[in-house]
Each structure stands twice: as structure tokens, then as C-alpha cells.
């Protein structure tokens, strides 16, 4: 049986057949909730492509819950049997032998630029490298079907599908299985706050969007207006499917502050409880990690206590504090992190850094110059499990949204990057490494797309040039997001691993991760247990946590890490 929700149309037909053949067309039957069903057996066909015809209009449209779009986002869907893969992870209990994602080392990875081939099968060959690095969880940027061959994944339009250029759904199952075989958990980045502009047909099927609220990407997803029950189910079913049918261990939810929901119960709380119930059924931990701009620990407070129930949330303030202290950049949203503002008027960048490393948020109800208002909520550092804040030196956003996609290693000396690594990897948060950071790859990570609609492609080019042109960049300096060369330049350069300074930084990250594992392990952490101070010279920053001491000399770009019972770690 194949079914689709289309409550506002009078007639739905299904077109189906083998690839390359003229499709047959049959009517579908409607129930009283607006679901249309075809009682045929898709497993009776070796390969079955299908699409829906709404009220006799052309063209036929792909399934909103399609698992596979081998003909692109505008073509028919292909039936996928989720039970086709023979899983080998029956004994898998979750990351770190059942401890879950919290406190483990997360590795943010874009499959399309992780290797030259840009596929799941090619990425499997690099998993042993991640094991040697000490990674616990591989976080995969979005895999939903997107227009063209490549992109970041945040313009997905078929949220249930796995992009064909990455290998499709069966390859993703193989990848997750291969990760589990090596003790690696898998976190999948999902986008529920908007869909991409090209190939987005959801609105043709029903009230998936509402004009009541808006987002930076246009009309909001309908979470609280008429018809929202089925839209909410569409999102929750999607999340549960990744856990159940693809065996992923965690989901990272993109920009949850853009999920506007004024209904009786917020979608995130409902999602949290649904995931918790599935975790009990499967007998392994399932985690939800939110990207939230709200600086409010209600996000990671349990639903029983009135919170939204997320396992963890990204902590941009820690990133910003590290970035400003190490690079000296203070433009845009970095302004408050340089100190000497209404946000932290009595300190400089190192004082701000000390604040975020011991309190998690800078904007905890205090003034935000960038937003022009007070922002965030106070954080109880004595009771909050520090692992509930994900901390990092770089992310795909913080690198890729720069004009040329330059990484922090293009600006900093290896010694100064080593300082930043020690401070977040040995802190109380759940640390996340952005792919290639650990060996300071010389490859940038630039913004790239492959829209087949030329008007959309030109709009993306023009928008990128206008955005950075306002900051003094010329059009020739901005990489063309539609050029294959932009994507190719962003592929990790694995041949650098054995050369300097890449090899030394890789050893440094590996040693720090091993130290974190031995000292902190799976234990609960607290920001209140961290102390930081700046020495009288104004250039030496000292952080102490769990008996470990990081002494960073920003005058010489050198750092020493001391811990009881082990020789000091020194860089360079």
C-alpha cells in the first residue's frame, strides 16, 4: 500500500511503473481524514517508480514522504524497502556502550566533501581514522534530497529521502551499520523549520505552511494553525523513522528557534516524549540536540519539569568567546565578546572568555549589542549538567558563512589553534570538532549549491555578492556558489595528514581527546567546577577543570596541559 495526505483536493491518482516505461495510472481512495490510499503491492515490482496526480493536473508530483528520489527532486519517487538491509548491529547499545551522546566527542561531517567521491560508501573507508582520533559520535549534515548534485543540505525538500548523489537510503543504512561496528554513534542533522525553494511541493498537498508566522526563509511550517495535527505528525514520524529504520543515535535539530508554535504544547516537547518512548522500546539511548539561538536552558530541561526535553543544545557563546579571544575579530555578533560593552563592560576578550567557559552563556539576560536588547536567561551552573551544552571552536556555519569559507587555521598559528582546542575539548561541555579542524586542513569550507533552475542559481550568486559586498568584498573575491570548483575546493585534503603542521595538530587533538576520556569519561560535569583567570602579564590564560590545568600563553602562542599522573602535554 502507498498513501498520501492531501486533504484539500477532490481527486488523487497514482502514476507507477518500472523506470523508463510509460507509467500506469490508477485512482486512490480517500478516508475522512484526507489520506488517499493505493492498495497495490509495491514489493511486487523489482523497481517501482511512482508519483501523484492531484485533481488531474500535470506534472505528477513526488511523494512528500519519499525515501528516494533517484530522478531528482522534480521527478518521481522510488519505492524503498527499509527492511532490505541486513543489519549487523544487534548488540549495539548506543554511543560509548550505552552512555549516549552527552559528554562524548562529536565530529561534524559533511559527507559530500569528506572525500573526493562525496558518498557514504567512500566515507566508510575513513571511519577507522575517526576511531583513532577518539571520536564517539559522527554528526552528519542533512541528507534530505536537494536540487542538483551537491549542496550543504539545508535546502532539502524531500525530508524523508536520502539524497541520491550521496548513495541513497541503502548506502546510508550501510554507513550507520559500519559506524556501529566500530563503536561510533551517528547523529543526523535534520531541518524542520523550513524547506528549500526549489522542488518544494509540500504546499500543493496540504496546509504544511502558514502565513500566520514568518521565518527568515518565508512562511513558517504550520505547527499551530488549522491542519497542523498532520503537519506535526509529519515531522515527528520523520524523526522516529531515522531512529527506527536507519538506526541513528541522535538528531541535531536545525534552528529550533524558527519553529514557531503557539499551540497548547510545543512541538519540541511532543517530539521529546515520542523519542523517549521509542528509546524505551528499542532499549538504547536516543538523543535530540537543538541548535537554539535563545540562550535558555528550558530547551534542555525535561518535559516533566516544564521544559522542552532536548538532550543538549549548541552553545554559540562559547564559540564566539573563543573566536574573539584568539583572532581579535569583533565585527557583527562578535562585538560583545570583545568586552568593554554594555554586555560585559569591565573586561576584555579574555575576561569574556573566562565568563563563557565558566558559565556557558554570555547573554544570560544581559544586553546584546548585536540584537539591540537584553537576551537569554540566567543559567544555574551549579545544577545544570555541563554536557548539555555542545561547545566548539568551529562549525559548518561559522566557517562556511564567511565570505571565502576560510577556516580558523587560515588566520591563526598552529599554537593559537592548539590553545582553543585545549580549552573546549577539556571543558565541561560536549565538545564538537568540525571535520578537518583536527589537522588544520588547508581546504576552506565554502558555500556551494547546484540549483538547476538558472533564475534560482543567479539569485543565490547575487545574494552572496550583495551580502559580502556590503562588508567591502568585491564580486571577484566571492567564490561562485554554483561553480563545481567551489565544491571541489571544500573537499578535505587527506594528503596533508603526514606533513607539518598538520601532523602535529592531529597528535595534539588525539592526545587531548584521550585525556578527556580518561579524566572525565561519561561523568556528569558542571560549569561551576571550572575556574579561569588571566595572569598579571595579561597574556596568559589559565583554565582548571577536574584536576587538569590548561595554561595558555597568547604572547608566544603556546599551551601546556597538566594533569595528575601523566606527563605534561605541550604545544608546540
316 is in an annotated binding site: yes
pLDDT at 471: 64
- Taking the CA atoms of residue 143, residue 146, residue 149 and residue 151 in that order, the dihedral angle to the nearest 10 degrees is -70
Q: Are 390 and 314 in contact (CB under 8 A)?
A: yes
Please tell me whether residues 398 and 538 are part of one structural domain: no
Is 319 one of the annotated binding-site residues? Answer: yes
> Does residue 184 lie within any of the structural domains?
no
Question: Within this chain, do residues 418 and 557 fall inside the same structural domain, yes or no?
Answer: no
Q: Which among 109, 128, 105, 129 is positioned nearest to 119, based on CA atoms?
A: 109
Confirm or deny that 257 is annotated as ligand binding: yes
**Closest-CA residue to 293 (of 220, 222, 240, 368):** 368
For residue 89, with 0-12 CB atoms within 10 Å meaning exposed, 13-18 middle and 19 or more buried, which class applies?
A: middle
Dihedral sign for Cα 77, 83, 88, 89, please. positive
Residues classed as catalytic: 254, 291
Answer yes or no: do 396 and 513 share one domain.
yes
Asked if 324 contacts 349 with a C-beta cutoff of 8 angstroms, the reply is yes
Are residues 417 and 510 located together in one domain of the fold? yes
SS3 352: helix
Residue 51 included in any domain: yes
From 36, 61, 86, the end of a domain falls on 61
Helix (H) or strand (E) holding 177: helix 168-181
355 annotated binding-site participant: no
Residues 420 and 495 in one domain: yes
Is position 68 within any domain?
no
Copy the grid coordinates of residue 217: 526563509
Helix runs in 347-445, H state only: 349-359, 396-400, 414-425
Is position 284 annotated in a ligand binding site?
no
Same domain, 438 and 547: no
Residues 554 and 440 in one domain: no
Dihedral (CA of 114, 118, 123, 129) sign = negative
Answer yes or no: do 369 and 503 share one domain: yes
Does residue 168 lie within any of the structural domains? no
Give yes or no for a contact between 24 and 16, defined as CB atoms under 8 angstroms apart. yes
Q: How many domains does the chain have?
A: 3
> 562: which residues sit within 8 A by CB, 6+ positions away?
548, 549, 551, 568, 569
Residues 405 and 549 in one domain: no
Which of 61, 88, 109 delimits the end of a domain?
61
Name the nearest CA neighbour of 75 among 237, 201, 207: 201
pTM higher than 0.75: yes
Calpha distance 95→101 (Å, rounded): 6
Annotated binding residue at 84?
Answer: no
The answer as to whether 468 is a domain residue is: no
> For every one of its 572 residues, what pLDDT tens digit does the chain have, with 9 covering 90 and above?
999 999 999 999 999 999 988 999 999 999 999 999 999 999 999 999 999 999 999 999 999 999 999 999 999 999 999 998 999 999 999 999 999 999 999 999 999 999 999 999 999 999 999 999 999 999 999 999 999 999 999 999 999 999 999 999 999 999 999 999 999 999 999 999 999 989 999 999 999 999 888 888 888 999 999 999 999 999 999 999 999 999 999 999 999 999 999 999 999 999 999 999 999 999 999 999 999 999 999 999 999 999 999 999 999 999 999 999 999 999 989 999 999 888 898 899 999 999 999 999 999 999 999 999 999 999 999 999 999 999 999 999 999 999 899 999 999 999 999 999 999 999 999 999 999 999 999 999 999 999 988 888 888 888 888 878 766 687 778 899 999 999 999 999 999 999 999 999 999 999 999 999 999 999 999 999 999 999 999 999 999 999 999 999 999 999 999 999 999 999 99
Q: 268 with 298: CB under 8 angstroms?
A: no
Verify that 366 and 482 share a domain, yes or no.
Answer: yes
Please say which residue of 14, 33, 61 terminates a domain: 61
Domain encompassing residue 550: 531-571
Question: Does residue 19 lie in a domain region?
Answer: yes
- Helix-, strand-, coil-residue percentages of the chain, each rounded to 5: 35, 20, 50
Report whether 255 belongs to an annotated binding site: yes
CATH number of the domain to which 371 belongs: 3.20.20.80
Q: Does 400 belong to an annotated binding site?
A: yes
333 DSSP 8-state letter: G
Q: Is 21 inside a domain boundary?
A: yes
Residue 6 belongs to domain with CATH number: 2.60.40.10
Residue 141 lies in a domain: no
Claim to verify: residue 368 and residue 387 sit in the same structural domain:
yes
Q: Are residues 448 and 537 in the same domain?
A: no
Amino acid at each position: 500500500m502507498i498513501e498520501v495526505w492531501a486533504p484539500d483536493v477532490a481527486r488523487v491518482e497514482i502514476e507507477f511503473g518500472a523506470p523508463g516505461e510509460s507509467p500506469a495510472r490508477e485512482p486512490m481512495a480517500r478516508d475522512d481524514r484526507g489520506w488517499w490510499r493505493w492498495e497495490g503491492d509495491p514489493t511486487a515490482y523489482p523497481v517501482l517508480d511512482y508519483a501523484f496526480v492531484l485533481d488531474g493536473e500535470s506534472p505528477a508530483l513526488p511523494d512528500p514522504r519519499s525515501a528516494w528520489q533517484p530522478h531528482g527532486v522534480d521527478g518521481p519517487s522510488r519505492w524503498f524497502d527499509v527492511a532490505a538491509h541486513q543489519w549487523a548491529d544487534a548488540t549495539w547499545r548506543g554511543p560509548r556502550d550505552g552512555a549516549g551522546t552527552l559528554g562524548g566527542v562529536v565530529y561534524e561531517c559533511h559527507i559530500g566533501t569528506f572525500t573526493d567521491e562525496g558518498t557514504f560508501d567512500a566515507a566508510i573507508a575513513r571511519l577507522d581514522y575517526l576511531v583513532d582520533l577518539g571520536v564517539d559520535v559522527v554528526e552528519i549534515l542533512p541528507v534530505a534530497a536537494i536540487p542538483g548534485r551537491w549542496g550543504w543540505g539545508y535546502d532539502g525538500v524531500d525530508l524523508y529521502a536520502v539524497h541520491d548523489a550521496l548513495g541513497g537510503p541503502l548506502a546510508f543504512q550501510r554507513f550507520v551499520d559500519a559506524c556501529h561496528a566500530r563503536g561510533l554513534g551517528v547523529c543526523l542533522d535534520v531541518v524542520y523549520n523550513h524547506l528549500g525553494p526549489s522542488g518544494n511541493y509540500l504546499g500543493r498537498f496540504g496546509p504544511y505552511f502558514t502565513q500566520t508566522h514568518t521565518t527568515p526563509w518565508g512562511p513558517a511550517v504550520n505547527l499551530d494553525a488549522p491542519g497542523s495535527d498532520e503537519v506535526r505528525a509529519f515531522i515527528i514520524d520523520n524523526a522516529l523513522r531515522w531512529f527506527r529504520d536507519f538506526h541513528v543515535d541522535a538528531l541535531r535539530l536545525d534552528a529550533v528557534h524558527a519553529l514557531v508554535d503557539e499551540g497548547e504544547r510545543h512541538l519540541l516537547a511532543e517530539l521529546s516524549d515520542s523519542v523517549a518512548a521509542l528509546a524505551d522500546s528499542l532499549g538504547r539511548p536516543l538523543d535530540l540536540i537543538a541548535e537554539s539561538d535563545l540562550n535558555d536552558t528550558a530547551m534542555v530541561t525535561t518535559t516533566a519539569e516544564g521544559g522542552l526535553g532536548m538532550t543538549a543544545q549548541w552553545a554559540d557563546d562559547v564559540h564566539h568567546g573563543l573566536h574573539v579571544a584568539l583572532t581579535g575579530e569583533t565585527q557583527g555578533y562578535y562585538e560583545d565578546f570583545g568586552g568593554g560593552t554594555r554586555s560585559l563592560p569591565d573586561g576584555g576578550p579574555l575576561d569574556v572568555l573566562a565568563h563563557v567557559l565558566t558559565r556557558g552563556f554570555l547573554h544570560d539576560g544581559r544586553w546584546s549589542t548585536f540584537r539591540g536588547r537584553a537576551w537569554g536567561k540566567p543559567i544555574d551552573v551549579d545544577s545544570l549538567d555541563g554536557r548539555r551544552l555542545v561547545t566548539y571552536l568551529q562549525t559548518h556555519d561559522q566557517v562556511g558563512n564567511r565570505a571565502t569559507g576560510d577556516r580558523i587555521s587560515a588566520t591563526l598559528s598552529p599554537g593559537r589553534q592548539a590553545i582553543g582546542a585545549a580549552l573546549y575539548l577539556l571543558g565541561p561541555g560536549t565538545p564538537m570538532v568540525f571535520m578537518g579542524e583536527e589537522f588544520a586542513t588547508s581546504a576552506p569550507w565554502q558555500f556551494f549549491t547546484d540549483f538547476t533552475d538558472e533564475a534560482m542559481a543567479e539569485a543565490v550568486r547575487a545574494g552572496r555578492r550583495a551580502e559580502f559586498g556590503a562588508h567591502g568584498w568585491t564580486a571577484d573575491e566571492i567564490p561562485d556558489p554554483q561553480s563545481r570548483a567551489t565544491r571541489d575546493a571544500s573537499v578535505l585534503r587527506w594528503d596533508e595528514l603526514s606533513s607539518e603542521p598538520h601532523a602535529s595538530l592531529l597528535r595534539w587533538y588525539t592526545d587531548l581527546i584521550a585525556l578527556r576520556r580518561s579524566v572525565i569519561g561519561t561523568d556528569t560535569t558542571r560549569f561551576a567546577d571550572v575556574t579561569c583567570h588571566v595572569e598579571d602579564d595579561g597574556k596568559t590564560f589559565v583554565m582548571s577543570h577536574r584536576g587538569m590545568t590548561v595554561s595558555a600563553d597568547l604572547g608566544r602562542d603556546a599551551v601546556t596541559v597538566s594533569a595528575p599522573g601523566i606527563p605534561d602535554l605541550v604545544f608546540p
